[in-house]
Structure 1
Amino acid sequence: MVLASLLVAALVLTGCTKKESRTTDQNGAETIDKIRLGVPTDFLTEYVAYIGLSEGIFARNNLEVEITSFSAGINTIDAVTIGQIDIGSGADFAVLNRLGGSQNSPLRIFSGVCELLNNSELYTRDPSIKSPEDLAGKSMIVMLGTVGEYYNSKTFASVGVPLSSVKFLPIEGNIEGVALIQNGNAHAMYANGRAAESLKKIEGIHTIANLSTYVPSTVCITIASEQFLKEHPQAIEKFIKSTNEVYELIRSNPQKAAEIVNKGNGAPIDQILVNFEIYVATVDFDQKFYDAMESLYQWMESSGIIKYPYDLHNYVNTNSLKKVFPGQGNFK
């Protein structure tokens, strides 16, 4: 995706674009740090943004946050790269892909978001398609540069269908994919959440596979530029602490958290509660996270997806995480 053509819906909830990172002012009072946060629509980090603002969690941690909403995690990663935002998040495939998209990427992973338990299902309205095997010679929706590419690859490899036999149709967002399925211009797409609910309204729609059969879970992480991490460590620390407090609220009172998110983005409360169950939320980036990403990296490199090979160790900086939560952020 061309960075200059990012399709962005700005959702400025509070704050300004000037960034500061000082611990105290001349009177000894802690200053307010400011960050520009990019969130993928209908994803856990969007939930964190709504809850953190509504419940005053960011404010209590002296953090002012400007939120911009994007259609997918990959768009937040690109926005960090070009300096449009300070912090983004995405699934393992998207982050690894962008790190290897150029030499000496400025991006750095600084904490975890969650382990996503994959509950997407593969939808089609074609009555002749009853399993993924039947998609040979057919068309399949994909959002290029995202973990969706990995999902499709693993699915078809598992059922013995060559990727070359499937016509992949690139989309910018799930709404576009649903429309292509509805008008018959695409045969199948993976979906969950609101996209799945929209698909279920289409006459003749049915599911032919569960993603968890092929890819049980996905690791999601937060990223920032190396420069921002060095120049504004206090802002990163406050963001990590605030995010963890939101996670604690979600675990202790999911109904209240879901109602806050519903007011913010209009998603059905029942669907938000389901999403809470599939997001194993944690700010930690530990050995499990690293091993999952390294394993995926090796597959991507061997598949020729990584343009510029690199050592993942060089693109993870958990110093702020370790300062906020000693004992976390450790890996070999």
Structure 2
Amino acid sequence: MKQKRVLSFLAVSFFVIPLILGGCSKKETQTAGGQTLDKIRIGASAGATLVTDVGLADEIFKKHGLDAEITAFAAGINTIDAISIGQLDIGIAADFAIFNRIGGAQNSPLRIFTGNGDLFNNSQLFSPDPSVKTPADLAGKSVITHLGTVVEYYYAQTFAAVGVPESEVKYLPVESPLEALAVLQAGNAQGYYANGRTAESVKKIEGIHVVGELKNYVPSTVLVFVSSEQFLKEHQRVVEKFLGAVEEIYDVIEKDRQRAAEITFKASGAPVDLTLLNLQLQTRRLDVSQSTFDALKSMYQWLEGKGLIKYPFDIYKFVDTTALKTVFPDRGNYK
């Protein structure tokens, strides 16, 4: 099993998604023991390789008949685009990101094939402006955002809750946390949502202070696995193997979080304390329950209402739980 890395910028922890699955070759390889494995390329966002690190260390992918090749990407959102053009086959996304991409093109090949739990939002809203005490004080000021990501939704919900029309806020789009830090340090923006490693860097800026907590406006974000319609049909057995492997990996992680954190530190350098914190902020369950589907519908309705869905679509047609229900017959029940 090989591991490669493709890095350009630090990942933004509140919208970079932890796991993305790459193209599965039709060619099979034989292990020394004679077992036939389905070759699969798995990508993980930089700093969020826990599942793949544990899967490799404990040979869980191999146990489930998968020859896994791992590639680390700088940002999860880019891998969703790669699925659309056939460079990758399976990935994980937040609700905002996947709907933004599905609705951005006619006849999108993307499909949701299982939910993956909820990410509890612990991002904090920072400001270097001493006159800004609460999110409401950002009216008439500039805030940093990352276009095409769930951060847009975070700001919209925050300002709606505090009674500030979005037309009164100036959004400054940036491409990376590093650029965001530079903008804050230069005093060109008065607000920025951040957490994890990014938040730790923001806190080092002189005069920076917290003016809001995201959890008060958006408690959690729904995470889902996505693939292409073609891949799900042509490689259903591989998807089933992957679901079984991830389920076992989740069990291993829950039985000993400390050991799991130490594995990913040794393999990828992710700080143990940060990994343990992230484990507290995310539920892990492969399912499309009624609550998951309702949350997806709510997000879609908001996006469509904001005019962010260029090509409206029927959510039901973009969810395919065939593989999920084959592996876990009691899951994937929604109306």
| TM-score higher than 0.5 | yes
Tell me which residue corresponds to 2:289.
286
Alpha-carbon distance between aligned partners in 2 of 1:205 and 1:164, rounded to the nearest angstrom = 25
Superposed counterparts of 1:1-332, under 5 Å: 9=7, 19-20=25-26, 31-43=36-48, 46-332=49-335
Task: Select between 142-151 and 256-265 the one with higher mean Cα deviation.
Answer: 256-265
Query: Is the partner of 1:172 in helix, strand or coil?
Result: coil
Query: Is the partner of 1:222 in helix, strand or coil?
Result: strand
Alpha-carbon distance between aligned partners in 2 of 1:83 and 1:112, rounded to the nearest angstrom = 22
* Paired amino acid for 1:39: A
Query: Is the partner of 1:102 in helix, strand or coil?
Result: coil
Alpha-carbon distance between aligned partners in 1 of 2:108 and 2:90, rounded to the nearest angstrom = 15
**Contact 1:39/1:76 (CA < 8 Å) preserved in 2?**
no
Alpha-carbon distance between aligned partners in 2 of 1:200 and 1:78, rounded to the nearest angstrom = 32
Displacement of 1:139:
1.6
TM-score w.r.t. the length of structure 2 is: 0.88
Displacement of 1:282:
1.0
Displacement of 1:165:
1.7
RMSD, aligned CA: 2.0
Alpha-carbon distance between aligned partners in 2 of 1:88 and 1:282, rounded to the nearest angstrom = 16
Residues 190-218 of structure 1 show CA distances to partners (whole Å, capped at 9, x for unaligned) of 11111111112222221110001100111
Call closer, same or farther: CA 1:59–1:290 in 2, change over 3 Å: same
Alpha-carbon distance between aligned partners in 1 of 2:163 and 2:273, rounded to the nearest angstrom = 36
Which runs of 5 or more residues in structure 1 are unaligned? 1-7, 11-15
Displacement of 1:17:
6.3
Percent identity between the aligned chains?
A: 53
Displacement of 1:113:
2.0
Query: Is the partner of 1:280 in helix, strand or coil?
Result: coil
Displacement of 1:296:
1.2
Runs ≥4 residues deviating over 6 A: none
Call closer, same or farther: CA 1:107–1:18 in 2, change over 3 Å: closer
**Contact 2:261/2:275 (CA < 8 Å) preserved in 1?**
yes
* Paired amino acid for 2:309: I
Call closer, same or farther: CA 1:323–1:21 in 2, change over 3 Å: farther
Query: Is the partner of 1:9 in helix, strand or coil?
Result: coil
